[in-house]
Structure 1
Amino acid sequence: MSDMMSKISEGLERAFASQGFAEPSVEDLRDAAGVSLRTLYKYTPSRAEMVLAALENRHQRYLVRVFDDLPEDPSEALDTILTRVGDWMATESSHGCLFHAAVAAEPGSQPLRALLEHHKAEVAAKAAAATKLKGADIALLLIIEGLTQAWPLHSEAALDAAKRLGLSLLSPDR
């Protein structure tokens, strides 16, 4: 991704995360990206492309923040992953998942649905690999998604519950 596209994607992500997908005008999105309208449309020729660019940026940031430099021990890795998801929710996304919000805003969009599916599959696969829980991708995703959705109502209590559920997956008699 070019430096200009990164700049635009970062600004668009911030705008959609703070204002939702319906509210920001093209001028708001241009201002958030810090470029001219001509440059914005050169790199993202439609609002749909703007949303996809923002979500792709978010996908990459999330993966780095949650999965980079994890401990080798599966139990410690799981604790770290869930702690980082809680930190993400506290600082980046206190209202829930931006990918789900995008699909809810435009439910008929196949590109949005495909990006949502790709994001969630990669999160699940990375969590399973880091915790050495082969075949537990969906269970781990369910815990992470549950934490993400419960965070706005329960914050730290949701994190504690997610960690308890995660530890149950690591027990030998699961």
Structure 2
Amino acid sequence: MAEMIERISAGLERAFAARGFASPSVEELRDAAGVSLRTLYKYTPSRADMVLAALEHRHRRYMGRIFTELPEAQGGALDTLLARVGGWMAEEATHGCLFHAAVAADPDSARLRALLQRHKAEVAERAASACGLPGREAELLLLIEGLTQSWPLHGAQAVAAAQQLGRALFQAPQ
């Protein structure tokens, strides 16, 4: 069962990332998931459930890619983390954050807002822990979110700017 939901979630993530949340038909989502319509609805009974499954899958992939095996040196961890966010943007999210796009597509969904908040809070907490900057979650999230939002306009320059600003966190009083 876990393997099937993983397969479905991965296909749904690809479809929503490529086509947005309004465009793909259920048939296109079924094809992207590589399952029958019956199986798709068995594991994700509504379009809202499909979006949530896709975003949960994306969350796991993002966290694994950004936070796995960071250098132990504080500044090195932050530079690496920000470079990985830039790499993610270049390869996976050239149009911006899929979590924010999902909330923008369905702003009244409490479930989507809760998932967005949980994802961003976990990113901030993991960044603060990995970089040895406890209590600086807000500043780190601002750096990461700023990088994510400015990537489509500035690309690699956004990474360099975020890294430069990030280094200042180690000298600034809390």
TM-score by length of 1: 0.98
Q: How far apart, in 1, do the equivalents of 2:112 and 2:4 lie?
A: 23
Letter in 2 for 1:8: I
Q: CA RMSD in A?
A: 0.9
Structure 1 distance, partners of 2:160, 2:79, is 10
1:111-163 deviation per Cα after TM superposition (whole angstroms, max 9, x unaligned): 00000000000000000000110110010000000000000000011111100
One-letter code aligned to 2:16: F
Matches within 5 A, 1:27-38: 27-38=27-38
Equivalent position SS for 2:155: helix
Q: 1:149 corresponds to which residue?
A: 149
Match of 1:41 in 2: 41
State how many pairs are aligned. Answer: 174
Give, in angstroms, the shift of residue 20 of structure 1: 0.2
Partner of 2:104: 104
% same residue: 66
Question: Hey, what's the Cα distance between the residues in 2 that align with 1:24 and 1:2?
Answer: 24
Q: Runs of 5+ in structure 1 lacking a partner?
A: none
Question: Structure 1 residue 173: deviation in Å?
Answer: 4.7
The answer for the alignment partner of 1:93 in structure 2 is: 93
* Structure 1 runs (4+) greater than 2 angstroms displaced: none
- Give TM-score scaled by structure 2 length: 0.98
Distance 1:6 1:129 in 2: 28
| Letter in structure 2 aligned against 1:138 | A
1:170, distance to aligned residue in structure 2 (A): 1.2
Q: Offset of 1:171 from its aligned partner?
A: 1.6
Cα distance in 2, alignment partners of residues 138 and 99 from structure 1: 18
